[in-house]
Amino acid sequence: MIVTVTLNAALDRTVTVPNFQRGHRHRASQGLTLAGGKGINIARALKRLGAPVVATGLAGGRTGTRIVEELTAEAILNDFVRIADESRTTTAVVDPTSGSYTEIVEWGPHVEPEELEMLMDKLHYLANGAEAVIFAGSLPRGVQDSFYAEAIRDLKRRNVQTILDSDGQPLRLGTEAEPFLVTPNQPEAEGLVGQEFSDDDDFLMALDAIAEMGAQNVLVTYEAGCVGRFREERRVRRFRAAAPRLEALSAVGSGDTLLAGFISARVEGRSTEESLRNAVAAGAVSTLEVGAGRFQPRELGRISSEVRVEELEPANASR
């Protein structure tokens, strides 16, 4: 079982509006409402990949009830802590004509200390026998930036592998807690190491720098694929995996699906190379549908055969 944790869950409403223009009245060609938030997106993708998963986190008010109902309707096993304040709603407009994506995100709920305690109690229960616990997304109001770090240390003492997908200070502090894997996207990784990446050496140095901060393994995603640094027995290996070019409909949530593809393959015992191939294929195929974490599993085989995976030399060896 894989557990995903979403503290700032949302009800995601996506409307498709061809030729969208600001300040004009439009008629949407289609609409889609899903439970959302990074951890939920990852859980949805894991479910489609056939991995056993349970989604947990915080859900409040009528919106929180709807989030749980939507997850249940998708047959995604879930066990959320109900909180007093209202969960957020996000609204997105996809324009297939221009390929643009416009998102309006509400503030998350305010969380009380006793509600966080209830969540940790639930995590202790769910983590028993879990293969991994994935902490993903932003933190709602009332939750300290150190929450992920404290939760990771707590679960490490219980011999539970943890994965972190966040940004800013929660990512920095969480990385210092030595999780099994951190998975920032390129802008998040640039913020973490304090510089922009312009070439392969920049990515390689970033992988090593993030590992030096505490992460046991590092996976940095970007538009065309990912780069990763992994500890295997007594050596460290670095890889790049590149996706084939596709006519993307929406790239929203593709990084979440990529992570799900990697974790599901690792849980199956597949090699790092095959796990990266599966990851990038899953992320790529998810761009062909609207809705984070949604894709056709039958397309994975076709796409994965076109993914290029190569091992990279360390940054200092490439100079």
pLDDT in tens, 86-145: 999 998 888 878 877 788 888 889 999 999 999 999 999 999 989 999 999 999 999 999
pLDDT for the residue numbered 125: 95
* pLDDT(318) > 80: no
pLDDT at residue 258 greater than cutoff 80: yes
More confident residue, 303 or 151: 151
Query: In terms of pLDDT, which residue wins out, 129 or 241?
Result: 241
pLDDT for the residue 289:
78
Q: What is the pTM of this model?
A: 0.92
| Structure confidence by residue, pLDDT tens digits, 274-283 | 999 999 999 8
What's residue 249's pLDDT? 63
DSSP string over 78-130:
B-PEEESSPPEEEEEEEETTTTEEEEEE----B--HHHHHHHHHHHHHHHTT-
Distance in angstroms between the alpha carbons of the first and the last residue of the chain: 43
Q: Which residue has the higher pLDDT, 193 or 26?
A: 193
Kindly indicate the confidence band of residue 301, based on its pLDDT and cuts at 50, 70 and 90.
confident
**By percentage, how much of the chain surpasses pLDDT 70?**
97
CA 197 – CA 211 distance, rounded (Å): 17
Does residue 26 register a pLDDT over 90?
Answer: no
Q: pLDDT averaged over the chain? A: 91
Nearest in space to 230 (alpha carbons), one of 276, 193, 189, 197:
276
The 10 Å Cβ neighbour count of residue 188 is: 18
Residue with tokens 């790239």: 251
pLDDT in tens, 148-202: 999 999 999 999 999 999 999 999 999 999 999 999 999 999 999 999 998 889 9
pLDDT interval class at 250 (50, 70, 90): low
Angle at the Cα of 132 (from 271 to 205), degrees rounded to 5? 60
d(CA 160, CA 153): 10
CB-CB contact of 5 with 123 (8 Å): yes
Token pair 């947990």 in the structure block, residue: 56
Percent of the chain whose pLDDT exceeds 90: 70
Domain ranges (residues) in the chain = 2-317
Beta strands of 176-234 (E only): which ranges?
181-182, 218-222, 225-232
> What is the pLDDT, as a whole number, of residue 319?
43
How many whole angstroms separate alpha carbon 220 and alpha carbon 263?
A: 14
Check pLDDT > 90 for residue 14: no
Q: Domain 2-317, CATH 3.40.1190.20 — does that match? A: yes
Residue 316 is predicted with a pLDDT of: 59
Q: pLDDT-derived band of residue 231, with 50, 70 and 90 as boundaries?
A: very high
